[in-house]
Amino acid sequence: MKFPRLYTGCLITLFLASGANALAVPDAGQDNRVEWNVLQKWPTGGKTLDMVHSLDGKYVYILNDKQMVQVYTTQGKLQGSIPVEEGVSAIDIAPLGEKLYLINNKNQTFSSIAVSFIVDVDISGSPFRGPADAPVTIALFTDFE
């Protein structure tokens, strides 16, 4: 019976006509001795030019074609965007994640940018001295010998 072939052909035609993008990889599969499962997917907000993952496993930095480095948690939550010059084509981060490195092939330059994250600390019910709404900065030193 040719009905299953006709049905499959119609589905493929509808898929292609809809302009839907093909997946980067099937959600799961195996080839010979390699097996994979897609753990997460999220939109990147533009064409990805480069990406780097922090060594502590907390952040993913994605350089897109809109001159932005977007910083995501590994769960896909956007933490912020860092604007970069036109021509930046490659990124990397320092081992501790405190610096973002940029390569600009248009200007033939290298840039090093200090990166820090703003963290909310719940202090409700804690004793304090001075104004309750005074700004507080906490310095974390992680390179003691």
Q: How confident is the model at residue 114 (pLDDT cuts 50, 70, 90)?
A: very high
Give pTM, 2 decimals: 0.68
pLDDT exceeds cutoff 80 at 8 = no
SS3 content of the chain, % helix, strand, coil (to 5): 10, 35, 55
- CATH T-level assignment (fold) for domain 38-117: Thrombin, subunit H (2.40.10)
Specify whether the CB–CB gap between 102 and 83 falls below 8 A.
Answer: no
The average pLDDT across 85-112 equals 95
The predicted model gives 22-26 an average pLDDT of: 65
| Lowest mean pLDDT segment, chosen from 1-5, 80-84, 111-115, 117-121 | 1-5
CA dist 99 and 81 (Å) reads 15
Pairing of the two strands 59-64 and 68-73: antiparallel
More reliable by pLDDT, 87 or 137: 87
pLDDT of residue 23: 53
**pLDDT score of 53:** 93
pLDDT at 30: 87
